[in-house]
């Protein structure tokens, strides 16, 4: 068994959906209904000097948690940037677009970044 096929966490994916607001504009948001999936979630290393957080005086009191999320290769749907993930009873936002690795068929996979503020 490949490490790319080992899944350790049960999650719920709330996919992105398009809705029309009261003014007739189309906007996206996470769906109210999610579906279960298996995933591997791992911490992402942070430099501590990235972004606006490094310039704040209260950096030790506020923080953000960032993880990498990888779904099984047989998961055919891409998770878009407005989707949310429920993991260990908490909601996580999908941050940015998917990282698509198109290497060989044995190592091709998709990785997402999830963030909790």
Contact 57, 35 (CB under 8 A): no
> Whole-number mean pLDDT of the chain?
83
The SS3 call for residue 53 is helix
The CATH class of the 3-45+63-116 domain is mainly beta
pTM: 0.78
Q: Which tens digits make up the pLDDT trace of 30-78?
A: 999 999 999 999 998 765 555 555 555 555 566 678 999 998 877 778 8
User: What does the pLDDT read at residue 57?
Assistant: 58
Query: If you write DSSP's letter for every residue of 10-26 in order, what string do you get?
Result: EEEEE-EEEEE-TTS-E
Q: What are the distances in angstroms from CA 65 to CA 20, 68, 94?
A: 32, 10, 12
Short-list 74, 65, 57, CA closest to 114: 65
Angle (CA) 81 112 51, round 5°: 75
């Amino acid at each position: 068994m490949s490490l790319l096929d080992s899944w350790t966490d049960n999650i719920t994916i709330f996919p992105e959906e398009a809705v029309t607001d009261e003014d007739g504009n189309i906007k996206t948001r996470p769906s109210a209904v999610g579906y279960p999936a298996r995933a591997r979630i791992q911490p992402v290393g942070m430099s501590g000097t990235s972004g606006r957080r490094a310039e704040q005086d209260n950096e030790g009191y506020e923080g953000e948690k960032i993880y990498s999320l990888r779904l099984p290769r047989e998961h055919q749907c891409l998770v878009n940037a407005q989707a949310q993930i429920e993991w260990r009873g908490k909601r996580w936002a999908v941050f940015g677009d998917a990282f698509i690795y198109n290497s060989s068929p044995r190592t091709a996979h998709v990785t997402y970044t999830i963030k909790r503020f």
